[in-house]
């Protein structure tokens, strides 16, 4: 089934939050933000701004009727700064004017004086100063202290990975419309409408049932709207509530890039111990997560870093510790992979470092240590249907990796200034929110009298195709044409208390809830049909919009079944609730069974390097991926390809830089480069591992959003191979992204 949004998107008819027609009298908000990274606000002069044309009002923390608090996990973040500011871009006030232009013009007339304090931007410096957002955590398995004695080889090093801008096409925006009796309707470009609703309720000091949040679809999110859509929606709601006028707030691209949090940069130390025959006996990692100025989702992201510390490998003795360091940068947030890519980069760096020192290819260590069924992850969950080895073996044979390595060696010895490199990247990603309580979802299904169907769930369509998958689920259960089904907007009044659409679990959780709701209606319809043709319910089935009794067509159509059932006063509406079974986690022991299942795969990436200029190309990305029973090859391949490109961008050209004073230097697309059509690999080839998916995956089709992101990590190590082929003295620091500038330096330095 094709993505149901494809035609609307291509013809520009799809409606995003920013496209919603505005009510007459709508006002516009523009955010006034801190210009320094750390300090006390001495004075603010709004007088000139208030006199500018069209300005209606300027809101600050003193205008908040409820609590000035938007922290999602920990209550440590204000909507508007009070006495102090903690990062450049921290909201201080909201200008409301009759147009966005006028609000922006007025912003230039605001004068703020600060007492400037020292700014910290480096996580290790923050840790030294005792600046942590919350206490550190350690995951452990076996006994590393003892295991070092048994190792033939021990290597120690460090690895850093950089931040990443989400660059969703649709910037953060919301439209809040006051309704009767103090209620509000808020259109929000958010992955988490329930979080938006709850936060608005807290800030306004009104009950959640006074706020209806509605989301048609997002123009991309990638995690950037899991938690960080909330502030902007809340500001719009606050203004609409206080002024009793509709208020629109839409961040300009520049404001969005400067004010919102991104992927967490990490600085990490590793120690890896191996036996003579290359078994990893012990692994120790210390992660310094740069959390920014408030916790945001950092506790959950730090947790996922620990969960994925050993990637796809079984290591019998592990100790992984993570610190979330408080710095004067915008709070870093969810981004596809959610802390796992950062952990896996460290593990792969440790393996690459060991391999380099032993003078062997890294794949020998990777291959030797892939996890098997019944091996335990450091968090206690035992691997089941672990397809790490199958994916690896298939990749090696299907893509003739041995032959390629030989070709590359020959090429490299025959050419002076062009070198090639290849690296492999096995991936294992756990599916479920690491916070067990979030693994629940609901759906609401209506069948209308004419046989058409309306479906609401908690899932947010953000381009990933979840609505198409939901339509497939319902069409399959009722055996009706997908054209009879409409997926409604995601709305907190229809489906309440939703988890954000995140953690690659949107289709699984909401699809399962939908299956339950549809299943109950189907059951009633079968009962009704059985009465209509005087037979038992068990004999009835629906096939291609017709009622069958056993194998005979009863002549009753879907429409007739529905109208008759309606006249018989049978309920054609149903909600469904799903909670992932069998998952649990105990934070006091850091052990449990947090994931419904894992997704596996192996990628091989080949690069070509221009050793005069430091330019490089990705020749091929070849993947064996564990889709389970792939329910929608088009959509899943699209997710896989997009994720790989985003992973390659993170590892190569996407470089977020802050000045020492905490100013974002890469604050526009002239200084922040993302992969474009010219940097896509010449070959992207994906083979499906032929293994059935688990029961907990929707239609046994495994979650796809995040796992392929981490295949991109291979590009880093492939580039290092190519650099080393030209410059054997290259020390091989682990400091992503490996930009062309860094590559050029590496080619001619140690
Ligand atoms: N969001 C979240 C996520 O709140 N919890 C998670 O475990 C998670 N994992 C991946 C992406 N987003
Ligand atoms: Mo996410 S990183 O919002 O799944």
563-578 pLDDT, tens digit each = 999 999 999 999 999 9
> In this structure, what CATH number is given to the domain that contains residue 187?
3.90.1170.50
pLDDT at 653 (0 to 100): 97
For this structure, is 706 an active site residue? yes
pLDDT at 37 (0 to 100): 98
Q: Are residues 452 and 418 in the same domain?
A: no
- Choosing from 526, 552, 579, the residue where a domain stops is 579
465-514 pLDDT, tens digit each = 999 999 999 999 999 999 999 999 999 999 999 999 999 999 999 999 99
Distance CA 62, CA 34 (A): 17
Distance CA 281, CA 149 (A): 10
Distance CA 7, CA 9 (A): 5
The residue whose C-alpha atom lies closest to atom 3 belonging to ligand 2 is: 223
Distance CA 426, CA 386 (A): 12
154 domain residue, yes or no: no
Q: Are residues 460 and 519 in the same domain?
A: yes
Contact 701, 631 (CB under 8 A): yes
- Domain membership of residue 303 as a residue range: 266-434+588-747
- Which H or E run includes 540? strand 540-543
Q: Are residues 650 and 606 in the same domain?
A: yes
Q: Are residues 364 and 486 in the same domain?
A: no
Residue 59 C-beta-side C-alpha neighbours within 13 Å:
25
Angle at 370 between CA 697 and CA 379, to 5 degrees: 65
pLDDT at 540 (0 to 100): 98
662 domain residue, yes or no: yes
- Choosing from 259, 281, 314, the residue where a domain stops is 259
Contact 702, 695 (CB under 8 A): no
Q: Are residues 453 and 409 in the same domain?
A: no
From the CA of 333, the nearest ligand is 2
For residue 332, pLDDT over 90 is answered with: yes
Contact 216, 206 (CB under 8 A): no
Distance CA 718, CA 233 (A): 43
Residue with tokens 């397809």: 387
> In this structure, what CATH number is given to the domain that contains residue 721?
3.30.365.10
Q: What's the alpha-carbon Rg for the chain, to the nearest Å?
A: 27
CA-based end-to-end distance of the chain: 53
Task: Tell me the β-bridge partners of 735.
Answer: 160
Mean pLDDT of all residues in 215-234? 98
139 domain residue, yes or no: no
Q: Are residues 450 and 567 in the same domain?
A: yes
491 domain residue, yes or no: yes
Whether 475 is in the pocket of ligand 2, judged by its Cβ within 6 Å, is: no
Q: Ligand 2: which of 503, 509, 709, 710 to mutate, judged by most atoms within 8 Å of the beta carbon?
A: 503
The residue whose C-alpha atom lies closest to atom 6 belonging to ligand 1 is: 433
Question: Closest Cα partner for 464 from 5, 130, 16?
Answer: 5
For residue 119, pLDDT over 90 is answered with: yes
Whether 333 is in the pocket of ligand 2, judged by its Cβ within 6 Å, is: no
Determine the atom of ligand 2 nearest the C-alpha atom of 500: 3
pLDDT at 204 (0 to 100): 98
Token couple for 93: 């006030």
Residue with tokens 């590009």: 715
Question: Closest Cα partner for 731 from 718, 745, 715?
Answer: 745
pLDDT at 79 (0 to 100): 98
Write the CA distances from 220 to 153, 378, 396, 689, integer angstroms: 46, 34, 34, 28
Q: Are residues 430 and 445 in the same domain?
A: no
125 domain residue, yes or no: no
For residue 413, pLDDT over 90 is answered with: yes
Q: Are residues 101 and 217 in the same domain?
A: yes
Write the CA distances from 139 to 144, 303, 306, integer angstroms: 12, 9, 6
User: Which phi and psi angles does 621 have, rounded to 5°?
Assistant: -125, 115
Going from the Cα of 611 to the center of ligand 2, the distance in angstroms, rounded, reads 37
632-657 pLDDT, tens digit each = 999 999 999 999 999 999 999 999 99
Which residues, including other chains, have CB under 8 Å from residue 447's CB and lie 6 or more apart?
453, 521, 562, 572, 573
Q: Are residues 171 and 249 in the same domain?
A: yes
226 domain residue, yes or no: yes
The residue whose C-alpha atom lies closest to atom 9 belonging to ligand 1 is: 503
The residue from 165, 654, 706, 721 that is catalytic is: 706
For residue 388, pLDDT over 90 is answered with: yes
Distance CA 236, CA 38 (A): 26
Residue with tokens 């309720």: 201
For residue 750, pLDDT over 90 is answered with: no
| CB contact burial 627-642 (16+ within 10 A = b; e otherwise) | bbebbbeebbbbbbbb
126 domain residue, yes or no: no
Question: Closest Cα partner for 240 from 179, 295, 314?
Answer: 179
Q: Are residues 736 and 654 in the same domain?
A: yes
Task: Tell me the β-bridge partners of 211.
Answer: 184
- Choosing from 213, 230, 259, the residue where a domain stops is 259
Whether 502 is in the pocket of ligand 2, judged by its Cβ within 6 Å, is: yes
Total Cβ atoms within 10 A of residue 413: 10
The one-character DSSP state at 703 is -
From the CA of 191, the nearest ligand is 2
Write the CA distances from 366 to 153, 214, 315, 596, 734, integer angstroms: 16, 46, 12, 25, 17
Contact 197, 458 (CB under 8 A): no
Distance CA 45, CA 495 (A): 44
127 domain residue, yes or no: no
For residue 54, pLDDT over 90 is answered with: yes
127-162 pLDDT, tens digit each = 999 999 999 999 999 999 999 999 999 999 999 999
Number of domains the chain contains = 3
Q: Ligand 2: which of 222, 342, 461 to mutate, judged by most atoms within 8 Å of the beta carbon?
A: 222
691-723 pLDDT, tens digit each = 999 999 999 999 999 999 999 999 999 999 999
Q: Are residues 254 and 274 in the same domain?
A: no
Which residues, including other chains, have CB under 8 Å from residue 255's CB and lie 6 or more apart?
30, 31, 33, 89, 171
Q: Are residues 642 and 547 in the same domain?
A: no
Going from the Cα of 634 to the center of ligand 1, the distance in angstroms, rounded, reads 25
Residue 147 C-beta-side C-alpha neighbours within 13 Å:
22
Distance CA 286, CA 280 (A): 17
Mean pLDDT of all residues in 437-441? 98
């Amino acid at each position: 089934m094709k993505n149901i949004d494809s035609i609307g998107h291509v013809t520009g008819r799809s409606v995003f939050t920013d496209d919603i027609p505005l009510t007459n009298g709508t006002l516009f908000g523009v955010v006034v933000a801190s210009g320094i990274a750390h300090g006390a606000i001495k004075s603010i002069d709004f007088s000139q701004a208030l006199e500018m044309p069209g300005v209606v009002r300027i809101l600050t923390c003193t205008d908040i009727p409820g609590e000035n608090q938007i922290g999602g996990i920990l209550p440590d973040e204000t909507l508007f700064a009070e006495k102090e500011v903690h990062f450049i871009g921290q909201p201080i006030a909201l200008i409301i004017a009759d147009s966005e232009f006028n609000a922006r013009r007025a912003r230039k007339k605001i004068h703020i004086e600060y007492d400037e304090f020292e700014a910290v931007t480096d996580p290790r410096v923050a840790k030294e100063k005792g600046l942590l957002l919350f206490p550190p955590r350690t995951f452990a398995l076996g006994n590393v202290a003892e295991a070092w004695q048994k190792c033939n080889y021990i290597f120690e090093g460090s690895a850093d990975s950089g931040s990443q801008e989400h660059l969703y096409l649709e910037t953060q925006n919301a439209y809040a419309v006051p309704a009767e009796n103090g209620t509000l309707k808020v259109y929000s470009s958010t992955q988490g409408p329930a979080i938006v609703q709850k936060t608005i309720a807290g800030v306004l000091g009104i009950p959640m049932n006074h706020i209806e949040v509605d989301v048609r679809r997002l123009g991309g999110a990638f995690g950037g709207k899991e938690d960080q859509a909330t502030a902007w929606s809340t500001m719009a709601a606050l203004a609409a509530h206080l002024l009793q006028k509709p208020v629109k707030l839409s961040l300009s691209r520049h404001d969005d890039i400067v004010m919102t949090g991104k992927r967490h940069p990490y600085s990490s130390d590793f120690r890896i111990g191996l036996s003579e025959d290359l078994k990893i006996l012990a692994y120790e990692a210390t992660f310094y997560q740069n959390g920014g100025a408030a916790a945001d989702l950092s506790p959950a992201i730090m947790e996922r870093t620990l969960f994925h510390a050993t990637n796809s490998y079984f290591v019998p003795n592990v100790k992984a510790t993570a610190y979330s360091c408080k710095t004067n940068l915008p709070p870093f947030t969810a981004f596809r992979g959610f802390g796992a890519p950062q952990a896996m980069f460290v593990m792969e760096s440790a393996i690459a470092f060991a391999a380099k020192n032993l003078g062997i290819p890294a794949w020998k260590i990777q291959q030797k240590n892939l996890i098997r069924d019944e091996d335990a992850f450091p968090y206690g969950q035992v691997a089941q249907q672990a397809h790490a080895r199958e994916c690896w073996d298939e990749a090696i044979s299907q893509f003739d990796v041995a032959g390629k390595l030989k070709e590359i060696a020959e090429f490299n010895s025959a050419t002076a200034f062009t070198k090639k490199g290849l690296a492999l990247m096995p991936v294992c990603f756990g599916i479920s929110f690491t916070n067990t309580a979030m693994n629940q979802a609901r759906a609401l299904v209506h069948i209308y009298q004419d046989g058409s169907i309306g479906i609401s769930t908690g899932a947010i369509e953000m381009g990933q195709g979840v609505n198409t998958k939901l339509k497939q689920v319902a069409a399959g259960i009722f055996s009706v044409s997908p054209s009879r089904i409409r997926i409604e907007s995601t709305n907190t009044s229809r489906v309440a208390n939703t988890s954000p659409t995140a953690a690659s679990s949107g289709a699984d959780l909401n699809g399962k809830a939908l299956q339950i709701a549809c299943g109950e209606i189907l059951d009633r319809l079968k009962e009704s049909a059985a009465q209509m043709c005087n037979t038992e319910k068990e004999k009835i089935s629906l096939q291609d919009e017709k009622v069958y009794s056993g194998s005979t067509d009863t002549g009753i159509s879907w429409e007739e079944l529905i109208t008759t059932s309606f006249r018989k006063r049978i309920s054609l509406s149903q909600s469904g609730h799903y909670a992932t079974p069998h998952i649990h986690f105990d934070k006091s022991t850091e052990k449990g069974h947090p994931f419904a299942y894992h997704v596996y795969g192996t990628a091989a990436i080949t690069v070509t390097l221009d050793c005069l200029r430091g330019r490089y190309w990705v020749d091929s990305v070849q993947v064996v991926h564990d889709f389970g029973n792939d329910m929608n090859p088009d959509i899943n391949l699209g997710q896989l390809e997009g994720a790989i490109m985003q992973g390659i961008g993170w590892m190569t050209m996407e470089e977020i830089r802050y000045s020492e004073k905490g100013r974002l230097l890469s604050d526009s697309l002239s200084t922040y480069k993302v992969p474009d059509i010219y940097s896509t690999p010449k070959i992207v080839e994906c083979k499906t591992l032929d293994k059935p998916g688990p029961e907990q995956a929707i239609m046994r089709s495994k979650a796809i959003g995040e796992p392929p992101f981490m295949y991109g990590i291979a590009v880093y190590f492939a580039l290092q191979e190519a650099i080393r082929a030209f410059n054997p003295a290259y020390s091989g620091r682990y400091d992503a992204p490996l930009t062309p500038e860094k590559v050029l330096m590496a080619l001619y330095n140690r």
